[in-house]
Amino acid sequence: AQTVTQSQPEMSVQEAETVTLSCTYDTSESNYYLFWYKQPPSRQMILVIRQEAYKQQNATENRFSVNFQKAAKSFSLKISDSQLGDTAMYFCAFMRIYGQNFVFGPGTRLSVLP
Amino acid sequence: DTEVTQTPKHLVMGMTNKKSLKCEQHMGHRAMYWYKQKAKKPPELMFVYSYEKLSINESVPSRFSPECPNSSLLNLHLHALQPEDSALYLCASSQMGLAGGLYEQFFGPGTRLTVL
């Protein structure tokens, strides 16, 4: 069975600064997907970024980028130029290539301070 | 703007009521999901439908009854719920790849359910 760990229950960052959220996972699979989802106070789950395990290049979406270390089973999210709208709960998620369900981490609550 | 819609946004019901939650997706996806989410916790998977057939049921109590009338619609029928069933109920959808695998999920805004 796969497990996902997010060791930082809460973090805060000043507006315009950079913050990194950590995620580690445990799996015996060699091919899988990893995701970061954002859930702001409005409670809408929003996909931030995805990474395919077979791709060595780290995924990037505007101010969001990941540091994917397959051997270490680590998948951290970097948010650059933090904005107030980035305040949210962030969930790391794992899915097998031919899987049908996600395994979510416990989440990290990020607060961006003015 | 979400392409997965859920109604109602809020629902308050008694333990003897029967109600339904509705979800609709407009992305042509063939897999749909129901999740239950308690405050400050990650979503917990309840049901997965692929090609309108139930493929995963994570041992959810029978007081929750899913229905998938077609590939765009997903309902969750509620009956004789308990106060501990109060939560945010999220619907999601995803594409299906070859060999039945699924891709990233797109979530609706959720229904906040309170059981009195």
- B9-41 pLDDT, tens per residue? 999 999 989 999 999 998 999 899 999 999 989
Task: Flag whether residue A101 sits within 8 Å of chain B, measured between CB atoms.
Answer: yes
pLDDT mean over B77-88: 96
Nearest to A47 among B56, B99, B106 (CB): B106
In this complex, the residue of B56, B104, B110 whose CB is nearest that of residue A101 is: B56
- Tell me: pLDDT of B1 over 80: no
Mean pLDDT of B40-50: 92
Say what the pLDDT of residue B93 is. 93
**What's the DSSP call for residue B16?**
T
CB contact under 8 A, A45 and B31: no
- Mean pLDDT value across residues B41-67: 90
Q: Which of A94, A100, A104 to mutate to test the interface with B (most CBs of B within 10 A)?
A: A100
Note down pLDDT in tens along chain A; length 114 residues. 789 999 999 999 999 999 999 999 999 988 899 999 999 988 889 999 999 898 889 999 999 999 999 999 999 999 999 999 999 999 999 988 777 778 999 999 999 999
Is the confidence at residue B2, as pLDDT, over 60?
no
Nearest residue of A to residue B44, measured between CA atoms: A104
Q: What is the mean pLDDT of residues B71-84?
A: 95
Q: Do A101 and B110 touch (CB under 8 A)?
A: no
SS3 B115: strand
What chain B residue is nearest to A50 in terms of C-alpha separation?
A: B104
B15 Cα to chain A: minimum distance (Å):
25
Q: What is the 3-state secondary structure (H, E, C) of A33-76?
A: EEEEEEECCCCCCEEEEEEECCCCCCCEECCEEEEEECCCCEEE
Taking all residues of chain B, what is their mean pLDDT, rounded to a whole number?
90
Say if the Cβ atoms of A102 and B45 lie within 8 Å: yes
State percent of chain B over pLDDT 70. 93
| Better pLDDT: A79 or B95 | A79
The answer to whether residue A41 neighbours chain B at the CB level (below 8 Å) is: no
What's the distance, Cα to Cα, between the start and end of chain A in Å? 41
Residue contact B102–A95, C-beta within 8 A = yes
Tokens of B38: 């308690």
Report the candidate in B84, B77, B74 with the shortest Cα–Cα distance to residue B107.
B74
The predicted pLDDT at position B9 comes to: 95
> What pLDDT, on a 0 to 100 scale, did the predictor assign at position B102?
65
Q: Which residues of chain A lie closer than 8 angstroms to B106, CB-CB? A: 47
